[in-house]
Structure 1
Amino acid sequence: MNPLLGAEQAVLGSVLLDPGQLSHLDWLAPDHFYRPVHQALFAALRKLRDDGHPALAEESVPLSWVTDAVAEASTHVFRGLTAVYAHTLISACPRPAHAPVYGRMVLEGAIHRSITEHAIRLHQAARADALQGEVEGALHYADVLTGVLSDLAQRWGTEPRPVAPATPPATVPVTPPPVRAEQVAEDERFLLAVLAEQPKAMDEVVGWLRPGDFADPAHGQLYRCLGALHHRGEPIDRVTLLWEAQRRGLLADGTLSGDQLAAICDGVGPGSAEWLGELVMRSSVTRTAATSARTIRALSENEALTPGRLINHALHALGPLDEVRSRWQAVNGRPAPTPTAPTRSATGPPPAQVHAALARSAPRPASPSSARPGSAPSLAALRPPSRGHG
């Protein structure tokens, strides 16, 4: 059985067996369940509790608790939920008292799923912006993802902080969409030509444009050479630029060739380095956003990562985008928004949630029945001592 499916069934089964377990699951929401039928049933059980169902006041849980829950949930789902399936859920619950632990497993699955979904949205927005030469959509969904991570950290009871994974997930480098790749490369070549031919052009971009902003690594290395000449106060032209590239080994290792550099510098017309640099920055923002999104998606699909580590690794993966974004907004005269740390509850996570976390790692004494190989507990043994279906 899928572990997450088993956890969802166990949570619902525990509440069907013992309505009192709902008081330990107030931090769990219906949309934390993966299956729609489970979402509907958990919402129905909470509604019956809030409406004061008679089962809450009785020592023995009446059959109406199950039938009324199924009837209420059936108004929101059209298939998959029957009285037979409700009893299947009851059978899937080993111990009703373990409901908070099962619920925490459900929440863990929901955290992985939510981060995956928002990473996909960020990636889609970044690709759409790259096609249109925009950045606002990618930056908006990056803000949304950051807010989601902070909210999930609070729900899980951990402190959100960027932490680099011990082994970064393998992701394919992001390139501009094919219909834009040539235009991006042309913008980069034009910018480099302007910087090589206009002595004062570097002053317009050197404060905010970085070699890593170039999609073509060779163009980034050539910009690095320009920056070195500018930093040393040496003259910049095609001859000094070629010499600097040679000193850095770019000709020897094949990163650049003399013909490539000549092609970039030949035939350049008048142009604005600042305007061209902004075009390069636009491409850098969307490319970095797409890379961050793919890294976060790869992390979220790793089921071995605990939610706390997943959230912190995802925040770390957004770091490069935050850095590029701050430079982009600075050059456009807009201050970068100051991220607000999520407010932590003075009392910490819900006690039932803490108990569930501890229960997952605390050693348990062997049950007397486990001493007899092959023995299995009866259905009656799964119910709380003071409750049973009447």
Structure 2
Amino acid sequence: MPRTPAPNEDDDLDDLPETHPPQPVYYAEQALLGALLLEPHRLADVTGIEPGSFSNHAHGALFAAICDQPAPDPVQHAKDTSWLNAVLAAAREQARGLTASYLHTLIQVCPWPRHASAYARMIEAEHARRTLRAHAERLALTARDVTLPQPIFATFAAADALARCVDDLAARFPPHSGSLPRPPAPPPEDAHDGNDEEVLDEERLLLATATAHPADAEQMRWLTVHDFTHPLHAGLWQCLTALTRRGAAVDPVTVLWEAQQRGLLTAGVEPAHLLGLLAGTAGSPQYWGERILQRAVLRTAQGVGHRIEAFADDPATTPYQLVVGSRRVLADLHALRTRWNHASTSAPSTSPARARASAPPRAGPPRTTAPSASRISR
């Protein structure tokens, strides 16, 4: 049985060492090419694929040559190899490792030439899986690329490209009865996001400025507790929003009391430290809220990419299951995108450099810097 050729196509394909066991699609490609070499008129039954659909470069080059060469007369084709020689010469321009013996091998390993359309469908399905995985990987890489000047918009563009790929799969592979795709393993946690002191400082600054300006915080319904990386910070944001929506008084002490009622004052979270956290204001709630939401969008996009990659890596997942699973995962990112649009079209954010004077706490002079990490136990 021929082996998968290495990227260097200069040697005979039959003589190359085997580095990885061929996947099932490799044999489908061999069967299709064998069918077309033996009975070229079967090309009329082949749809949905092109040379780039093949997982093997030499196979793609050979398919392109078959498509480019005029179909021979069936009677003449049975008598001589002139058409096969022309196909081989054309294919060797792109894959020099192809030989006449390999073409004869392809013909020999083809079970039934009349099944050419079925082989082509297998190749199409596997190419769709690879394409979807490539888009998902690009989304995950874009979301964690810290060098991008506007990462949020680059991430949305990658997500749109992924969604278009899913729509294309849905159009090419009709729905069928069957179970949903198996849930993938949880995506790897981004340790950088969860432990970055800058991230935690931004969450503390939001809580402090929102406590000083509760009217602004009340308008930020686009920010939820799920956008925070630290559980305590998420709980304090819940306390703040609960107070503002009840029309209750909001200051560090009332937030502290609400936190006690919600069971946030556990071991390691001292009231004095929490009061210090809520007193360090700088900038505006809108600015820090947008920063936190942007990180949540990028974090979610990265997780979406990893989950769809996991779907695509499971060979038991059918193309239609890929569509269903990917759309469900993308819905999470779409919901966050909707909230981001609400945030970015609301009142313009104010960066710390242009921050308006923050209202002083009820007791003591106003603070202008965030409390240090040691001020509160995480």
Instruction: Give the alignment's TM-score, normalised by structure 1.
Output: 0.76
Matched, 1:320 2:338: no
Which residue is 2:299 aligned to? 287
Which residue is 2:351 aligned to? none
- Alignment partners' CA distance in 2, 1:165 and 1:66: 45
CA change 1:173–1:137 in 2 (3 A) is same
Which of 92, 97, 122 pairs up with 2:139? 122
CA change 1:64–1:202 in 2 (3 A) is same
Deviating more after overlay: 173-182 vs 137-146: 173-182
Displacement after TM superposition at 1:131 (Å): 7.0
Contact 2:293/2:340 (CA < 8 Å) preserved in 1? yes
Deviating more after overlay: 131-140 vs 89-98: 131-140
Displacement after TM superposition at 1:11 (Å): 0.9
CA deviations over 1:116-174 (Å, ceiling 9, x no partner): 11111111110115876731111110011111111122222349xxx995653112354
Structure 2 counterpart SS, 1:314 = helix
CA deviations over 1:225-255 (Å, ceiling 9, x no partner): 2112222222222222222223223334x69
**Residue 249 of structure 2 aligns to which amino acid in structure 1?**
P
CA deviations over 1:255-285 (Å, ceiling 9, x no partner): 955455234213x134211111111111111
**Residue 282 of structure 1 aligns to which amino acid in structure 2?**
Q
Displacement after TM superposition at 1:33 (Å): 0.7
Which residue is 2:275 aligned to? 262
**Residue 278 of structure 1 aligns to which amino acid in structure 2?**
E
**Residue 326 of structure 1 aligns to which amino acid in structure 2?**
T
CA change 1:292–1:130 in 2 (3 A) is farther
CA change 1:43–1:124 in 2 (3 A) is same
Which residue is 1:277 aligned to? 289
Which residue is 2:353 aligned to? none
**Residue 63 of structure 1 aligns to which amino acid in structure 2?**
T
Which of 69, 72, 83 pairs up with 1:54? 72
Contact 2:48/2:121 (CA < 8 Å) preserved in 1? no
Which of 202, 207, 210 pairs up with 1:195? 210
Contact 1:164/1:316 (CA < 8 Å) preserved in 2? no
Matched, 1:83 2:100: yes
CA deviations over 1:299-342 (Å, ceiling 9, x no partner): 110111101001210111111111111111222239xxxxxxxx
Which residue is 1:183 aligned to? 198
CA deviations over 1:82-107 (Å, ceiling 9, x no partner): 11111111122111111111111111
Number of residue-to-residue matches in the alignment: 324
Which residue is 1:99 aligned to? 116
Contact 1:218/1:255 (CA < 8 Å) preserved in 2? no
Which residue is 1:16 aligned to? 37
Structure 2 counterpart SS, 1:201 = helix
Structure 1 segments unaligned to the other structure (5+ residues) = 335-390
Instruction: Give the alignment's TM-score, normalised by structure 2.
Output: 0.78
Contact 1:130/1:180 (CA < 8 Å) preserved in 2? no
Displacement after TM superposition at 1:179 (Å): 11
Which residue is 1:237 aligned to? 251
Which residue is 1:172 aligned to? 187
Displacement after TM superposition at 1:211 (Å): 1.2
Contact 2:193/2:199 (CA < 8 Å) preserved in 1? no
Instruction: Give the percent of matched residue pairs that are identical in Structure 1 and Structure 2.
Output: 35
**Residue 208 of structure 1 aligns to which amino acid in structure 2?**
W
CA deviations over 1:185-237 (Å, ceiling 9, x no partner): 211110011112333231242x2111111222332222122112222222222
CA change 1:257–1:151 in 2 (3 A) is farther
Matched, 1:28 2:61: no
Structure 1 counterpart SS, 2:249 = coil
CA change 1:165–1:233 in 2 (3 A) is farther
**Residue 323 of structure 1 aligns to which amino acid in structure 2?**
A
CA deviations over 1:8-54 (Å, ceiling 9, x no partner): 11111111111111111122222111011111111111111xxx333
CA change 1:167–1:303 in 2 (3 A) is closer
Contact 1:194/1:201 (CA < 8 Å) preserved in 2? no
| Greater than 6 Å deviation, 4+ residue runs | none
**Residue 77 of structure 1 aligns to which amino acid in structure 2?**
A
Displacement after TM superposition at 1:176 (Å): 6.6
Which of 100, 108, 112 pairs up with 2:125? 108
Structure 1 counterpart SS, 2:88 = helix
